[in-house]
Chains A and B, each alone.
Chain A
Amino acid sequence: MDLDKNNLKYYGQTSKKKRKLNKKTLLFLGFLFVIGAIIFTTLYSNGVITGNVASINSNNSIKISSELTSPDFNLKGEYPEIKISSNSKTTIYLGDKSFFLDETRENQIILKEFSGKIEIDGDGILLDGKVSDVNLNYLPITDKNNKKIKISSDSKIPYSLIEFKENLFLKEINYISSGTLSVGKQNPDKITLNRDSLVVSNYLGKLKISEGNLFLDGFAENIKINGDEKKISISK
């Protein structure tokens, strides 16, 4: 009896090779997902995506500007440009070199592409991180191999001004404050604070601290003020 090959039915069985290929493909896709998750969430978690800044645009947020007493800041991340003015004696370490700044003049320190930690309080600024470029009293300092330079200081750098030149994202500013806060784009409302609790959520904008005052100019998603004589909550 001859077997007619055309009558043979092949039941759909995935071949071993195909199964192996599927496993390998899944593994590779899993690897790409993990690497993508690390890169995406790390590089864009400082204020550009993660759902926070996506909602911070001029239509969906509140325009604010302020002249308030300054809180302490504890920042960590990447900052395109930071300007610091100091007229106190201090030593800054860049790589393996130290730079002494005296108190006889207003010292200007401009840090480009700083990544690391910044602690700001009433006593001064503590820096610990790396920069691609430093400008010390108009003297540019870069690494000859174009690598990032480690920057640090022994003690807090007393400052008269610190300014974040490009938009800075802060998840929350929460402290007891005094001063004025302007809310709104056209014909802004001015709110005076007198040791009132201020909470600003998801702030994106410029930040400057000068002579103990905090100057904000940007957008926020939510503002809450809680004081003896007032209770204000603004959100978009």
Chain B
Amino acid sequence: MQKRKFLLKVRRSRKSYFIIYLMILAVTGTLFYFKKIGLNIPTFAWVVSVLFIFFLIKFTEVHRMKDWWGVTDSALVQSLGLLNKNVREVGFSSISDMDISKPFFKRFLNYGDVNIRLFLNETSIKVKDISNPEQFVEDFQLIISQSRKNKNGFGQK
């Protein structure tokens, strides 16, 4: 089986885990502050904090890596899950339209969702929490139009 060549590949942006990074910062900041003012931090507090930070970082990385979306020269590929992988491939001809969802909070960090709707009322594909979704849509549309041009060019021959 030939390995697919992706013209565009995106994953969840790390910006979407901003709140989690803030929690990590709060915990390390508290530990650092107490250490700085000379307080004796018990082993229990250290162990709980380290485990919490380790778990959060592991969780965010695993959560981020498990889903991805790629665009080949003829299809959009969605892969969900790490252990139980769910891969869906949708040809460009099935795509009806796209829209971008950027709630108030996500606008500050410039990340959001792209909702790709399909013909025949099938379940749409949601590209979640990607950085700069407008750029993704622009690039995707460029790829689609390029693909159509190539097809028409081939057809005319």
Contacts and interface: CB of A to CB of B under 8 A. Distances in A.
Interface stretch (A28-36, A182-190, A191-199, A222-230): A28-36
Interface string A122-150: 00000001100000000000000000100
B27 A34 contact: yes
B30 to A, nearest CB: 5
Given A31-B23, A35-B30, A117-B38, A41 B49 contact: no
Instruction: Place the interface of chain B in its size category.
Output: 10 to 19
Contacts of A39: 30
B38 A115 contact: yes
A173 interface: no
B113 to A, nearest CB: 14
Nearest to B30: A38
Contacts of A50: 42
Instruction: Place the interface of chain A in its size category.
Output: 20 to 34
B27 A35 contact: yes
Contact of B48 (A38, A45, A115): A38
Contacts of B31: 38
B46 to A, nearest CB: 9
B-side interface mostly: helix
A38, A41, A50, A130: residue with the most chain B Cβ atoms closer than 10 Å: A38
A180 to B, nearest CB: 32
A38 B34 CA distance: 9
A38 B45 CA distance: 5
Contacts of B123: none
B104 interface: no
Nearest to B52: A34
B26 interface: yes
A115 B33 CA distance: 13
Interface of B: 20, 23, 26-27, 30-31, 34, 37-42, 44-45, 48-49, 52
Q: Which 9 A-B pairs have the closest CB atoms?
A: A116-B38, A115-B38, A38-B45, A34-B52, A41-B42, A129-B38, A31-B23, A41-B45, A37-B48
23 contacts: A27-B20, A27-B23, A35-B30, A37-B48, A38-B30, A38-B34, A38-B48, A38-B49, A41-B44, A42-B40, A42-B42, A43-B39, A45-B40, A45-B42, A50-B42, A76-B38, A76-B40, A77-B39, A78-B38, A78-B39, A117-B38, A130-B37, A130-B38
